[in-house]
Amino acid sequence: MIEYRTQLHKGKIILHKGFVLTIKILFGLVFLLPFYWALVTSIRPAEDVISDTINLIPTRVDWSNYIRVYTKGGLLKAIKNTVIMTTLGLLLNLSLCSLAGYAFARMKFKGRDVIFRIMMLGMMIPSIVTLLPSLLIIDVLNLYGKWLGVVLPGAAGMFNIFFLRQFFLTLPEELAESARIDGAGEFTIFFRIYLPLVKPALATIAIFTFQGNWNSFLWPYLILPSDQPVIATFVKNMEATGDYGLAMAASMLATIPIVIVFLLFQRYFIKGMSISGIKG
């Protein structure tokens, strides 16, 4: 009797596990299939794209969509522009946000916490509200069509400052005190002692900033001249041709780099998301 019961129980557990696994796989397919289908479409010859049957596995690989995307022009420019924009955005955010995050966490000056709170409130402002006046300010500063105009508004992301401040707060203050006694200056203390200790946090904001810049669409579209696309505007242009082969190839070119970065630095992505939930 007891044996029968445990067997029944085991059976239930296996059934339950099977059910859970099925749901997990089902949702996995929901999340992956669109990418997979876009990828498969992008390496299909045009006549297969509009064929009547669903062929989930491509019968032949054909790069003509990618070649056509390339010959349409603008692709290399878009990649180059996106790389420049992303690199500048990364460098500026890493340096400016770690300076500010450190000061807000560990340096004592009048009005520190008030300034910090006001800046944090800025995170609530929808970007569309500041869009038109920001364009006006870019105009006044004479930054239209310039790289500084593209990257400056996002050069010190509030979230990055908040995130780094939280990290600096967890580090003991005694490190600075003993260094001061040894005669170290504030810059040395920041660069030599504290900054190396927040490397994981820097990695996390680096990948989120990379992602944000790589995907950014509206601002570079408005600031750069129309013959200077970034990858997101390029994808939109390819979509506007109405040719699915071109659109999918361009989408894949925009997607693959960020997925590779994710697979390489997954740990930091996941950590960053987890921490913002728990500490937020």
Using CB under 8 A as the binding rule, the residues of this chain from 58 to 117 that contact other proteins are: 96-97, 99-100, 102-104, 107-110, 112, 115
Out of 8, 67, 169, 273, point to the residue binding other proteins (CB under 8 A).
273
The count of residues interacting with other proteins (CB under 8 A) is 91
Rounded to 5 degrees, φ, ψ at 157 are -60, 135
Spatial neighbors of 90 by CB under 8 A, at least 6 apart, are 206, 209, 210, 213
State the minimum distance, in angstroms, from the CB of residue 199 to other proteins: 19
Q: Which two tokens stand for residue 274?
A: 């987890």
Rounded Cα distance, 55 and 252, in Å: 19
Eight-state DSSP code of residue 185: -
Give, as ranges, the residues between 26 and 45 that touch other proteins (CB under 8 A).
27-28, 30-35, 37-38, 41
Nearest residue (CB) to other proteins, 17 versus 80: 17
Rounded Cα distance, 33 and 84, in Å: 32
Give, as ranges, the residues between 128 and 157 that touch other proteins (CB under 8 A).
128-137, 141, 152-153, 155-156
State the minimum distance, in angstroms, from the CB of residue 187 to other proteins: 8
Nearest residue (CB) to other proteins, 77 versus 271: 271
Segment near other proteins (CB under 8 A); pick from 3-11, 57-65, 70-78, 265-273: 265-273
- The yes or no reply on residue 57 touching other proteins (CB under 8 A) is no
Contact 70, 245 (CB under 8 A): no
Rounded Cα distance, 150 and 92, in Å: 12
Rounded Cα distance, 258 and 120, in Å: 28
- The yes or no reply on residue 172 touching other proteins (CB under 8 A) is no
3-state secondary structure at position 93? helix
Place of tokens 């929901």: 30
Give, as ranges, the residues between 224 and 263 that touch other proteins (CB under 8 A).
231-232, 235-236, 238-239, 244, 247-248, 250-251, 254-255, 258-259, 262-263
- The yes or no reply on residue 191 touching other proteins (CB under 8 A) is no
CA angle 263, 264, 267 (to 5 degrees): 85
Rounded Cα distance, 223 and 216, in Å: 12
Out of 76, 117, 122, 183, point to the residue binding other proteins (CB under 8 A).
122
Out of 183, 196, 225, 277, point to the residue binding other proteins (CB under 8 A).
277
- The yes or no reply on residue 24 touching other proteins (CB under 8 A) is yes
Rounded Cα distance, 56 and 62, in Å: 15
Nearest residue (CB) to other proteins, 77 versus 236: 236
